[in-house]
Amino acid sequence: MWTQSMPLIDQPPSPEVLVRELDDLPPTPRVLQSLQKMIADPDAMLVDMGDMVALEPGLAARVVRIANSAVFRRGAKVDNILEAIQRVGLSGIHELVTFAVGSQMVGRPLATYKLDAQSLWARAVTCALAAAGIGEKSDVDRVSAYSAGLMHGLGLIVIDRYSVRQTPPRHITTSGYPHDTAPAEREWLGYSHAEAGAALLEMWGFSADVCNAVRFQIEPEKCPEEHRVLCMTVAVARWARSMICMPSPEMPDQPATSWLTATGMKVSDLEEWLKDLRKQSQLACSELRLY
């Protein structure tokens, strides 16, 4: 008996397949991988780090520009990569270069989310500043908190690159904090920008704590225990990012009490902390506009 076969339905690729197949994603920030190894080496010299960053002229120029901004500037203007790195020292070099690498990744608007590049960058900067500030109140590593905050929205770029190739392209709207665009993304793809961003970071060789903090940023309770506080740090930082960069007629819910407790934050501290963070964000975003 003849039976008509069911039509084949194209299944969206997994996050891991997606980041390997897309050929127009930002370039691998190999300099960060090398920098992480050098920082871990007790015999590493700042001059060697400067030479390594200088191998990528475009990145080196960004590092110098950012080092001269009010965010990082300490003293007289610097004119070259070595002076820039010497200014921030070993403790600040990873943060400075991560900032420069992040700005390289954000170069064009995301049609899928109706988001311009400058707005995407402002969200990344604000989340990074918030996460680093929270990290100082807990035992999480400030550099990891800063990196995870800066990269928390990386998956939006991945999904946008995939979406614009579809016919017709998708348009995704946010449901607001704490889930952001994850519900719509999961309905379509089966995963969210959080998983897509983590897959790209893993392919680039970022540390497990940063990858997991990005992957589980929507539902931190599911994060492996050893990285859960860092993940909750990013989740709370996303709330601050929403308050500052994503104005809405409806105020977003406050972060879960368990997240605040784990990160050492108190509800009574949020208003004053947000006020200070808003000033930092405005300064950073005005000083470090994309161009």
On whether the CB atoms of residues 50 and 85 are closer than 8 A, the answer is yes
Calpha distance 123→291 (Å, rounded): 16
Specify the pLDDT at position 216. 98
Q: Report the b/e string of 168-199 with b at 16+ CB within 10 A.
A: eebebebeebbebbbebbbeebebbbbbbbbb
Calpha distance 50→78 (Å, rounded): 13
Specify the pLDDT at position 48. 87
Query: CA angle 261-263-265, nearest 5°?
Result: 65
Range 84-89 contact pairs with CB under 8 angstroms and sequence separation of 24 or more: 84/50, 85/46, 85/49, 85/50, 85/53, 86/46, 86/50, 89/46
Residues forming CATH 1.10.3210.10 domain(s) in the chain = 107-291
- The candidate with the shortest Cα–Cα distance to 127, out of 291, 290, 289, 280, is 280
The HSE-up count of residue 228 (CA atoms within 13 Å, CB side) is: 13
Specify the pLDDT at position 2. 36
Calpha distance 173→221 (Å, rounded): 25
The token pair at 226 is: 């050893």
Task: Kindly report, residue by residue over 177-190, the tens digit of the pLDDT.
Answer: 999 999 999 999 99
CATH superfamily of 107-291: Hypothetical protein af1432 (1.10.3210.10)
Task: Kindly report, residue by residue over 93-121, the tens digit of the pLDDT.
Answer: 888 888 888 887 887 899 999 999 999 99
Cα distances from 117 to residues 2, 185, 186, 290, in angstroms, run 54, 20, 23, 8
Counting as low any pLDDT under 70, the low residues of the chain are 1-10, 27, 249, 289-291
- The candidate with the shortest Cα–Cα distance to 113, out of 172, 68, 162, is 172
Specify the pLDDT at position 1. 37
Specify the pLDDT at position 68. 87
Specify the pLDDT at position 175. 92
Residues 6+ apart with CB under 8 A from 255: 178, 235, 236, 239, 265
Specify the pLDDT at position 172. 96
Cis status, amide bond into 15, omega within 30 of 0: no
Calpha distance 98→201 (Å, rounded): 13
Tokens 């191998």 sit at which residue? 55
Calpha distance 111→273 (Å, rounded): 33
Cα distances from 245 to residues 6, 215, 261, in angstroms, run 47, 22, 24
Calpha distance 243→277 (Å, rounded): 10
